[in-house]
C-alpha cells in the first residue's frame, strides 16, 4: 500500500512517512489518541472503501450488499455482546454525530438537555453554546465542585429538579475520576428525563472491566470507537430496545447517508480484540500507568484537578506553577512528548491559552510502557516545565525520550492469538 502511494503521489507519501516517524518517535499523551493493530489498519484501508451501503442490513438502497450486510450485523452483535447492550448502531461517522443523533432521537428542538460544562471537563456536544447541540436544544450545564474538582451529585440533582431536562447527559472529555452512572440514572428517573451517557473516553476501560459500565443505567450510550477502545475513528450508539427505532431513524436518514463500511469492518475487528484477556490486561495497565504518572507529578508539586485520577486521564492545573498550558505543551512537543493544553475548572485564561494540560496513558500503554516509564515521563514533564526557554535542555530531553521510544516500538500486531 505504501509503495502504491509513493508511486502515485510522492508528496502525500512523504507526509505520511513523516507522520509515521513522528508517532513512532514520540510519547503520545493525548488521552484521545492511540495506536490501532495492524488488522484494524488493514480493514480500514480495505476494498470496503469502494462500497456504498446506504440504509441498514437487508434494507439497503443499493444492490451488492451480500457481504456488507454480514459485516455490519457482525459489528453490531460484537458490540452488544462486549458491552451487554440490547442493540447497537455502528454507522455514526463520529462521536459528535452519535451524540446529536441520540439527542435528536429522544428530544425535540428547543427542549432542555443537561450536561457537564466544557470548562469543567464536558464535551462540546454536551450542549456547549458554540456547538449545534447548544443551539438546537435549550442547554443547562452542571459544573464540578469548586473545592474537590469532582462531580457533586446532590447539586446535579438540584439543578435537574429546577430545570426538568428532557435528557440528562453523563460522561466527559476531561474528567479524571470514575463516574457513578447509577447516580445519574437515579437523578434522571426522579425528574422524568432520559439518561444518555457519553463513554467515548472510557469505552476501552469499560470493555476491560476497570470502570463502571453505563449500559445498565442508561437509556442510550454513545461513544467514539478509537481512544481507549483502540479501534478506527468513528462513532457508535448502544441502546435499550425501547429506543432502537428512534435511534436508528435518527442516524439514518436523520443525520447522514451512507455508512463508512471500511470503518465498520475495522470496528468489528477491534471489538473482537477488545473481548480478549490481553485487552483486559491492557485496560488495567492504562489505569496503573495513569495513577503512577499522577503520583509522580504531584510529588513534583503539580496541582492535579481532583487530586489524582481513577482512569486514563490526568488534568494538570498549572496556575500554582505560574505557567500556562499552551507554552508548556509546545515545549513538551519539541521534546517529543505530545499533550494538549486544556481549560481547567474556574479558568479565566480562555480556551486558546488556558491554564491546564491534559494527559493520558492509552498510547504509551499500547507500546508496552509500564509504571517505571510513567515515572520517567513525569520527570521529563517536570524538567521541561522548569526549563521552558532552555532549548538545550529541551533538546537533551527529546533525545532521551526518543531513546525510550526505540526500546518500546509501536507493535505491528497488538493482539496475539
pLDDT in tens, 195-225: 999 999 999 999 999 999 999 999 999 999 9
For residue range 218-276, what is the model confidence (pLDDT) as tens digits?
Answer: 999 999 999 999 999 999 999 999 999 999 999 999 999 999 999 999 999 999 999 99
Q: Are 172 and 124 in contact (CB under 8 A)?
A: no
For residue range 11-28, what is the model confidence (pLDDT) as tens digits?
Answer: 999 999 999 999 999 999
The domain defined by 283-407 folds into 3.90.1150
For residue range 110-134, what is the model confidence (pLDDT) as tens digits?
Answer: 999 999 999 999 999 999 999 999 9
| Residue 210 to residues 103, 141, 207, 221, 268, Cα–Cα distance (Å) | 28, 28, 8, 17, 22
Q: Is the pLDDT of residue 416 over 50?
A: no
Active-site residues, by number, are 52, 54, 198, 224, 227, 233
Q: Are 126 and 140 in contact (CB under 8 A)?
A: no
Burial pattern 241-272, b for ≥16 Cβ within 10 A else e, equals: eebbebbbebbbeebbebbbbbbbbbbbbbbb
* Nearest CA among 259, 248, 222 for reference residue 237: 222
Q: Is the pLDDT of residue 83 over 70?
A: yes
Give the pLDDT band (50/70/90) at residue 350: confident
Please state, as a whole number, how many other Cβ atoms lie within 10 Å of the Cβ of residue 42. 14
Q: What's the pLDDT score for residue 417?
A: 36
Give the pLDDT band (50/70/90) at residue 151: very high
Q: Is the pLDDT of residue 415 over 60?
A: no
Tell me if the bond preceding 253 is cis, omega within 30° of 0: yes
| pLDDT more than 70, % of the chain | 98
| pLDDT more than 90, % of the chain | 97
- Residues 276 and 286: their CA atoms lie apart, in Å, by 16
Q: What's the pLDDT score for residue 3?
A: 82
Domain residue extents for the chain:
41-274, 283-407
Give the pLDDT band (50/70/90) at residue 2: low
- Residues 218 and 198: their CA atoms lie apart, in Å, by 10
The domain defined by 41-274 folds into 3.40.640
* Nearest CA among 141, 140, 132 for reference residue 109: 132
Cα atoms in the Cβ-side hemisphere of radius 13 Å centred on 20: 9
| Angle of the 391-407 helix axis to the 325-334 helix axis, nearest 10 | 60
The average pLDDT across 365-390 equals: 97
Mean pLDDT (the chain) is 96
Amino acid at each position: 500500500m505504501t509503495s502504491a502511494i509513493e508511486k502515485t503521489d510522492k508528496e502525500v507519501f512523504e507526509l505520511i512517512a513523516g507522520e509515521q516517524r513522528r508517532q513512532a518517535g514520540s510519547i503520545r499523551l493525548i488521552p484521545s489518541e492511540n495506536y490501532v493493530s495492524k488488522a484494524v489498519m488493514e480493514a480500514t484501508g480495505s476494498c470496503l472503501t469502494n462500497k456504498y451501503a446506504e440504509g441498514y442490513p437487508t434494507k439497503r438502497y443499493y444492490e451488492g450488499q451480500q457481504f456488507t450486510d454480514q459485516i455490519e450485523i457482525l459489528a453490531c452483535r460484537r458490540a452488544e455482546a462486549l458491552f451487554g447492550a440490547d442493540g447497537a448502531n455502528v454507522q455514526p461517522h463520529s462521536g459528535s454525530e452519535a451524540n446529536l443523533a441520540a439527542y435528536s432521537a429522544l428530544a425535540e428542538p428547543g427542549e432542555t438537555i443537561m450536561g457537564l460544562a466544557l470548562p469543567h471537563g464536558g464535551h462540546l456536544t454536551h450542549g456547549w453554546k458554540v456547538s449545534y447541540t447548544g443551539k438546537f436544544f435549550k442547554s443547562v450545564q452542571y459544573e464540578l465542585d469548586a473545592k474537590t474538582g469532582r462531580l457533586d451529585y446532590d447539586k446535579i440533582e438540584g439543578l435537574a429538579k429546577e430545570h426538568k431536562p428532557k435528557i440528562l447527559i453523563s460522561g466527559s472529555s476531561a474528567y479524571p475520576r470514575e463516574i457513578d452512572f447509577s447516580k445519574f440514572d437515579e437523578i434522571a428517573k426522579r425528574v422524568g428525563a432520559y439518561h444518555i451517557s457519553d463513554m467515548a473516553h472510557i469505552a476501552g476501560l469499560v470493555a476491560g472491566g476497570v470502570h463502571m459500565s453505563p449500559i445498565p443505567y442508561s437509556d442510550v450510550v454513545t461513544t467514539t470507537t478509537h481512544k481507549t477502545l483502540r479501534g478506527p475513528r468513528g462513532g457508535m450508539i448502544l441502546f435499550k430496545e425501547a429506543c432502537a427505532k428512534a435511534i436508528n431513524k435518527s442516524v439514518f436518514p436523520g443525520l447522514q447517508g451512507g455508512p463508512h463500511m471500511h470503518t465498520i469492518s475495522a470496528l468489528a475487528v477491534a471489538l473482537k480484540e477488545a473481548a480478549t484477556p490481553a485487552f483486559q490486561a491492557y485496560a488495567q495497565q492504562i489505569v496503573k500507568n495513569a495513577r503512577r504518572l499522577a503520583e509522580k507529578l504531584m510529588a513534583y508539586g503539580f496541582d492535579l484537578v481532583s487530586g489524582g485520577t481513577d482512569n486514563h486521564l490526568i488534568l494538570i492545573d498549572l496556575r500554582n506553577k505560574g505557567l500556562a498550558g499552551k507554552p508548556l505543551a509546545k515545549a513538551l512537543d519539541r521534546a517529543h512528548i505530545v499533550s494538549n493544553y486544556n481549560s481547567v475548572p474556574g479558568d479565566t485564561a480562555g480556551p486558546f491559552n488556558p491554564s491546564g494540560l491534559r494527559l493520558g496513558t492509552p498510547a504509551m500503554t499500547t507500546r508496552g510502557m509500564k509504571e517505571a516509564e510513567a515515572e520517567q515521563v513525569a520527570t521529563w514533564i517536570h524538567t521541561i516545565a522548569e526549563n521552558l526557554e532552555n532549548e538545550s535542555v529541551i533538546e537533551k530531553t527529546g533525545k532521551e525520550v526518543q531513546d525510550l521510544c526505540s526500546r518500546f516500538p509501536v507493535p505491528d500486531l497488538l493482539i496475539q492469538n
